[in-house]
Amino acid sequence: MASQLGVTFTGLRFENPFLLASAPPTESDGNIMRAFDAGWGGVVTKTIGLHPVANVAGPKTKFLRASVDSPRLSMQKQPGTALHSSWNWELISDKPLDWWVPRIARIKQAHPGRILVASIMAGSGSDQELTHWQTLAKACQDEGADALELNLSCPHMDRKDMGSNIGKDTELISIVAQAVKEVARVPVWAKLTPSTTDIVVEARGAFLGGADAITSSNTFPSLPLLDLETLEFEVNVDGYVSSGGLGGPAILPLSLAKMAQLTQAFPDQAFSGIGGVAEFPQALNYFLLGCGTVQVCTAAMLDHAIGPNVIQKLTAGMQAAMERHGWSSLEAFRGIRRDRVVAHSKIRRPDADSYRGGYEAEGYAGGEALAAERRR
């Protein structure tokens, strides 16, 4: 049986399960249409707000590289280095809703069969801000957006009622999701922050509010490194820096850990995985844990801005893997390794009696009593 790359996710039919994530590559209608021409199954717009924002007066995105023959990490371009991660402190789109509205319509007219997801962001804590979410949602879907992704995860918003500051508050997540669902005629995805104690709690709030899917993970809060010679941050404006977001290969294991928590807690819900994907082997991790789609950012940014070679490798890799394993569709292997992630105490020990739940016979409170109990 021939394998099929097409997937249905939150009721939407994608030509393939690979999406270009909300980021600089999706900041214009030109880039988005180039991405569709290149073969991406879906595109998530750069996050749209009601009002324009002003970005920092300096570099907004940089790439951290690792030396092959030393532990050195630096953003300086040097031969013999490999990509470690991306770092950015870029805010949401600097174009207002009025700029985006006709362009969403133009994109959908040019590519009616491709899935366009509008990323939106407003504040919280007041009826006015909830109305802003609804205004954004209605405007985008009215122009043809196929789904909405709620940005509850931007790691560097100064406002205490925006971005990851919402994403750390279960009640606010639920309220925002519910407000958008009240007006939405299209699926609503909640993009959550990884900078939380238990992402399952926040996801539960999103689902209780009516979200149709969870996207995880956004970038991890971080700082750029200091230069050994100048003692200045490698990214700075007038010598100053603020927290930004770490993405790319370095966050793949971290994002997978978050995703395993989510898909185990909510096995019947929909998840879009993001973080560290450049080729199909990385994407496969997310699919085997239960994701229905995967989003890509850093790798695409380094490949002609919108990743024409990246999407070719992803689809070719998926086709080859499915033929090799005899899988006819993504559903044949989605989630089949989810149950392999277990509590630490479930991992086999050479000698069952040697494991005492983290306690030793000596040196820990209660250890001696526990050892005596085991001897009886």
Active site residues per annotation: 154
Indicate the DSSP class of residue 347.
S
Tokens 């996050």 locate to: 47
In sequence order, the β-bridge partners of residue 230 are none
Phi-psi region at 71: left, alpha or beta (left = phi > 0; alpha = psi -120 to 50): alpha
Closest CA to 218 of 161, 270, 165: 165
Contacts of 109 (CB under 8 A, 6+ apart): 144
Residues 6 or more apart in contact with residue 118 via CB below 8 angstroms:
44, 45, 48, 100, 104, 136, 140, 141, 145, 147, 148, 149
Spatial CB neighbours of 60, under 8 Å, sequence gap ≥ 6: 24, 88, 89, 90
Measure the CA angle with vertex 177, ends 171 and 181; round to 5°. 145
Distance set, CA 194 to CA 112, 154, 163, 184, 259 (Å): 33, 10, 12, 26, 10
Indicate the DSSP class of residue 190. E
Q: In whole angstroms, how far apart are CA 301 and each of 20, 57, 199, 340, 369?
A: 10, 20, 27, 33, 58
Identify each DSSP E strand in 167-269 by its residue range.
Answer: 188-192, 213-216, 220-222, 244-247
How many Å apart are CA 36 and CA 20, to the nearest integer? 9
Sign of the torsion formed by the C-alpha atoms of 87, 91, 96 and 97: positive
